[in-house]
């Protein structure tokens, strides 16, 4: 007999906390990588292994190779494109968007994890991993009312049931529901 696997809520942080963590990552290439993870909801390996030719600068899109070598084409915000361009110009590696040198390997996921951990410690926030940026991205989309089917496409999920985890009680939703519940609960206690 197996013990059922416990389901946990995604480790999503509010926008201000994500920005605070990002602001404390001082290495410009690592900061750009983490900014991309948050702005586009990428997995850490999807971000660190990106090649410069994954960006279509005319259409402002980003070609991401996800789990199982599945491709997805994401819109790339202009500000993120500019940040990536600036970071790439620091090393000009033709094979890696995020590298330390012109002929070096891509950033390792461990390097990015260490930078996020150090930024969290400095910010005095609960421990977080780079994957928290992906969860926070999906949570922002649901808070802005983006349809779950579209969120699924952006995240590269095979099933909408995986994406449905991001419909958890976010602060804005909790406040909205508090008002509704206050109205009908008042009648219950009379």
- Note whether 120 and 126 are within 8 A (CB): yes
Phi and psi dihedrals of 43, rounded to 5? -75, 155
From the list 67, 121, 127, 178, the catalytic residue is 67
Q: Of 13, 31, 134, 140, which one is the catalytic site residue? A: 134
Q: What are phi and psi of 56, to 5 degrees?
A: -100, 100
Helix, strand, or coil here: 36? helix
Alpha carbons 33 and 29: distance in angstroms, whole number: 6
Active site includes 166?
yes
Question: Which strands form 71-75's sheet, in the order they lie side by side?
Answer: 55-56, 61-65, 71-75
- DSSP string for residues in 97-136: SSBSSTTSPBPPHHHHHHHHHHHHHHHT-----THHHHHH
Q: Exactly one of 95, 113, 131, 168 is catalytic; which is it?
A: 131
Q: Which one is catalytic: 13, 38, 152, 166?
A: 166
Q: Cα–chain-centroid distance for residue 170? A: 16
Active site residue 157: yes
Does the active-site annotation cover 168?
Answer: no
Q: Which of 31, 135, 152, 157 is catalytic?
A: 157
Which listed residue (43, 135, 140, 152) is catalytic?
43
Active site residues: 43, 67, 131, 134, 157, 166
């Amino acid at each position: 007999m197996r013990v059922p696997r416990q389901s946990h809520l995604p480790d999503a942080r509010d926008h201000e906390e994500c920005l605070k963590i990002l602001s404390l990552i001082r290495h410009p290439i690592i900061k750009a990588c983490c900014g991309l993870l948050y702005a586009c909801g990428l997995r850490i390996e999807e971000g660190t292994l990106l090649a410069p030719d994954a960006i279509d600068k005319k259409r402002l899109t980003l070609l991401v190779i996800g789990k199982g070598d599945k491709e997805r084409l994401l819109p790339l915000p202009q500000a993120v494109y500019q940040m990536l361009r600036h970071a790439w110009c620091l090393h000009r590696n033709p094979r890696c968007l995020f590298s330390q040198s012109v002929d070096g390997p891509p950033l390792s996921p461990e390097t990015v994890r260490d930078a996020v951990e150090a930024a969290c410690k400095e910010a005095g926030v609960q421990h977080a991993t780079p994957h928290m940026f992906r969860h926070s991205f999906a949570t922002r989309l649901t808070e802005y009312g983006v349809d779950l089917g579209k969120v699924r496409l952006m995240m590269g999920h095979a099933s909408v049931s995986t994406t449905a985890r991001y419909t958890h009680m976010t602060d804005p939703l909790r406040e909205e529901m508090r008002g509704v519940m206050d109205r009908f609960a008042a009648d219950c206690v009379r």
